Structure 1
Amino acid sequence: MTPNDTLIGAGFADPVFQSQGAFRALLAALSEPGLSCDIGVSVEAPAGLAPATAVALLTLADYETPIWLPAALRDGPAGAWLRFHCGAALVYDPARAAFAVIDGAATEPKFAAFNAGDDQFPDRSTTVLVQCAGLDGGEAVTLEGPGIPGRRSIAPTGLRPGFWAEVESNAALYPRGVDLLLVHGAQMLGLPRSTQIVETR
């Protein structure tokens, strides 16, 4: 480890203004599933976290919201950055996480490993940020559901085999289930648990 590996980059320069802007962008992504949008805020994201992932966690996480990260991120600069800026606990058990970050191409953990909420409190499920290679140019998938007028097609890249089957299984749990944010660079695309997959090709 070099000295630079121990340095923690800056967070928000203007926490109130920037977190409000990022929160509006996150709401837009989840209320209009399948539409790519820019997080709208720039921070010095640590290695392993896409800029949109870093901003989303800065906006949503605090000391009451446990975060799950892959071991390589949890034990490296990304984990240190989140502990410092959010005060968040980094948990080893995916089922305990309020927020999680996964590599879209990694085979584990499956969405079923995270907290799907329960019938009384479905809103207590995990929100999973899926970092992928791109939000277009991949296998086309057609969506429908709340926030989608008619149907909408997306084609993200860098996702593991069986990814869309997992999304379908997650949607079948509604109103339980995890909410997903697909992230690439500063862009994000929401796939809340209410979104249904009607076609893949």
Structure 2
Amino acid sequence: MNMTTVAELPAGFADKVTSAQSTFRSVMDAMARPGRICRVAAALTAPSPLMPAVAAIALTLFDHDTPIWLDAAIAGHRDVGQWLKFHCSAPVVEDASVASFALIADSAQMLPLERFALGSNDYPDRSTTLILQVESFTNGPALELSGPGIRGTAELAATISPDLVAQLACNRALFPRGVDLVLVAGSEVVALPRTTRLTAKGG
């Protein structure tokens, strides 16, 4: 069995403070303006199959107090778990319902949203933020977004399944409970908080 040593793991941020601050601003901007494509400018080598922006978000938001759940497509790469533990001190858990964050590379096989932590009416923040890698923000089915942070409506064509769109509608109905979703395509991010309404454009 080949074991990756610490020295062989991809490095973290070259400039930790500046890169973390920049990434944090990008994620917060995306959460405040659902549907808006925001760029994560931090340059780093991500362990496969993580996209650069996902790795940057992990280095910025994950720590020893944030249990992480990995889908099978990511968990199958041992280097990712080692990298997260080394750079973030983040524990990797097998139970999605106790995860603060979930990293998902295979949307077709992702768990139902109800399997993740949904928070409670008293503590809605005790929920999972899902970070989902997608192929594109422009080549998927056209969606219309509305809700807090959106003036009127916004449009998005992310490559997510109709089933996930339907699940997000159910998730929105749970407010203040529910999960938040961050989509990542390469170095770009789009946030879909639990308050955002998604409908098929023209539907």
Going from structure 1 to structure 2, the CA distance change for 1:73 and 1:137 (only over 3 Å counts) comes to closer
Q: Distance in 2 between matches of 1:74 and 1:99?
A: 14
Residues 152-192 of structure 1: CA deviation (Å, up to 9, x unaligned): 110111x3451100111111111111010010100010000
2:45 counterpart of 1:44:
yes
Q: Tell me which residue corresponds to 2:11.
A: 10
> What per-residue deviation string (whole Å, max 9, x for no partner) do you get for residues 21-54 of structure 1?
1100000011000011101211110001111111
SS at match of 1:123: coil
- Write the distance in 2 (CA, Å) between the matches of 1:138 and 1:108: 18
| TM-score w.r.t. length of structure 1 | 0.93
Match of 1:60 in 2: 61
Residue 30 of structure 1 aligns with an amino acid whose one-letter code is: M
- The structure 1 segments of at least 4 consecutive aligned residues displaced by more than 3 Å after TM superposition are 198-201
Match of 2:93 in 1: 91
Kept in 2, the 8 Å contact 1:104–1:160? The answer is no
Query: Secondary structure at 1:189's aligned position in 2?
Result: strand
Q: Is the 8 A contact 1:30 1:190 kept in 2?
A: yes
Q: Report what 1:171 is aligned to.
A: 172
Shift of 1:18: 1.0
Residue 198 of structure 1: how far off its partner (Å): 3.8
Q: Secondary structure at the match of 1:183?
A: strand
Q: TM-score, normalised by structure 2?
A: 0.92
Aligned mate of 1:124, from 115, 123, 126: 126
Which residue type is aligned with residue 57 of structure 1? A
CA distance in 2, matches of 1:197, 1:42: 32
In structure 1, distance between residues paired with 2:15 and 2:126: 29
Q: 2:105 aligns with which of 87, 103, 113?
A: 103
The separation in 1 between residues aligned to 2:198 and 2:74, in whole angstroms, is 31
Partner of residue 193, structure 2: 192
Structure 1: any 5+ residue segments left out of the alignment?
none
Contact 1:97/1:126, CA 8 A, preserved across alignment: yes
User: How far is 1:104 from its partner?
Assistant: 4.8
Q: 1 CA distance for matches of 2:200 and 2:161?
A: 18
Task: Verify: 1:78 aligned to 2:80, yes or no.
Answer: yes
Q: Work out whether residues 182 and 190 of structure 1, in 8 Å CA contact, stay in contact via their aligned partners in 2.
A: yes
Deviation at 1:103, TM superposition (A): 2.5
What SS class does the counterpart of residue 129 from structure 1 fall into? strand
Equivalence for 1:152 = 154
Which amino acid is 1:130 matched to?
L
Q: Could you tell me how far apart the structure 2 residues matched to 1:36 and 1:46 are?
A: 23
- Find the residue that maps to 2:108 and give its secondary structure: coil
